[in-house]
Amino acid sequence: MKKILVYDDEGEMQNRLCEKLRGLEALREAFDIMPLERNVFLQTMEALRERQSAFRKIGRWDGEKIALDEASFLMIDYDLLGNPLDSFLTGEGVAYLARCFSTCGLIIGINQPPLIDFDLTLQGRPESFADLNIMEKNLNNPGLWGGEWQGFRPWYWPNLPGFWASFERRIADVKEALDAPIWEVLGFDRYTFDVLPRSISDFLGAEPAEVTFREFVRKSGNALKVKDAKSDDCAPEVLARVAAARISKWLERLVLPGQDILVDAPHLVSRFPSLISGDAGDIGAWNTTARLGSPDESGLNAGIIEEYRLKNDHWLSRPVWFWDGLRSCERIQEVREPWTAQMPEWVFCEDASRFHDRSGTTMFVAETESPYSRRFVQRFDDNDYNYRPLTRFSA
């Protein structure tokens, strides 16, 4: 059975996290949710460090499987001060070792400072080796796991089971093309990579359009650490897993938030309402676009813009389209006849993944260089949900 492993150095919190997850029936039925007992965790850390040491010497690691190798998800708390192995160890340190020296699936970092529920920059923590960073209290939000939700559900969250299921496809892409330019494998064109803003492209390296997956993992500083990357014969399996995870996070947390390179369905219909497949006067039709499913489930008349869709959409948590082509596509009414454009009465709320009447929302400015940086939140009770940094509300 598929496994979710949970670790915290405080047994009470570890059990609480497990119970939160088991409280979701669909999750309980699909996954074996297991606490990683302290003695097993210590053995696991010792094995990971032995693998790291071997990798530094010969570029690969072998040996018996460990618990992490068979985990679909690793849930790791950030504060591990009570861990007897190393008082300086954090969840982020564990995430790095797990990603680089095990075959675990997705890594979820819990309660990493600063403690926020909704990130008004929309960038999250691209430097973190956790595939998603989240607060403990949101871990059992049904919307995070592909279920129906009410109220708070940030749009930048993926559907975790779906995103986990596509992880192996991303790894396979990289293994087949370790020495190919990243843009080529992702399905971009070279020009798009050539004109990426520095705030986005620096993650990849000095010449983003030239960088291969192998070069990114070994030289960018955003994948393997320098000492871990020194072998000239690094195992392709390790490079592929690290690259797949890190490039996917780069797309999710640095490329997509601007909605000016890639654009997803709700932000697209906010500009081109004619693309709604249902009744454009019904807010329910608009909310069908806020789904993390296939393009056919996007709530759009997707056929007329199919040529602009990122075909390798398993690299992201949702269907996306290339904005540069869309804005000049005359099959779209608002492009062909801009004078007929009728903007909607509602706006998309990033903290609810739903459209809402503009009068009941609060505007903020995301931390992007995009002309579409002004966004909206429903802003749920500040006593329940922590929005930061607050300066983004007045930017």
- Position 329 in a domain: yes
| Pair 244, 270 in one domain | no
| Pair 268, 247 in one domain | no
| Pair 283, 250 in one domain | no
| Pair 383, 272 in one domain | yes
pLDDT, tens digit, 9 for 90 and up, residues 329-377: 999 999 999 988 888 889 999 999 999 999 999 999 999 999 999 999 9
- Position 327 in a domain: yes
pLDDT, tens digit, 9 for 90 and up, residues 80-130: 976 665 657 899 999 999 999 999 999 999 999 999 999 999 999 999 999
- Position 119 in a domain: no
| Pair 360, 379 in one domain | yes
Which DSSP helix (H) or strand (E) runs through 273?
Answer: none
Tell me the C-alpha distance between 1 and 178, whole Å.
Answer: 31
| Pair 200, 275 in one domain | no
| Pair 29, 9 in one domain | yes
Q: Which CATH number does the domain housing residue 85 bear?
A: 3.40.50
Tell me the C-alpha distance between 59 and 230, whole Å.
Answer: 8
| Pair 291, 213 in one domain | no
- Position 163 in a domain: no
Contact 19, 34 (CB under 8 A): no
Containing domain of residue 38, as a range? Answer: 2-113
- Position 160 in a domain: no
- Position 237 in a domain: yes
Q: How much is the pTM?
A: 0.96
- Position 35 in a domain: yes
For position 394, what pLDDT does the model report?
79
Last residue of a domain, one of 113, 143, 159: 113
H-state helical runs in the chain: 11-22, 25-30, 38-58, 91-101, 160-165, 167-176, 182-186, 190-194, 198-201, 213-219, 236-250, 265-271, 283-287, 323-326, 333-336
Q: What is the pLDDT along the chain (395 residues), one digit of tens a residue?
A: 799 999 999 999 999 999 999 999 999 999 999 999 999 999 999 999 999 999 999 999 988 999 999 999 999 999 997 666 565 789 999 999 999 999 999 999 999 999 999 999 999 999 999 999 999 999 999 999 999 999 999 999 999 999 999 999 999 999 999 999 999 999 999 999 999 999 999 999 989 999 999 999 999 999 999 999 999 899 999 999 999 999 999 999 999 999 999 999 999 999 999 999 988 889 999 999 998 988 888 899 999 999 999 999 999 999 999 999 999 999 999 999 998 888 888 999 999 999 999 999 999 999 999 999 999 999 999 899 999 999 999 76
- Position 336 in a domain: yes
| Pair 188, 219 in one domain | yes
| Pair 295, 244 in one domain | no
What is the domain count for the chain? 3
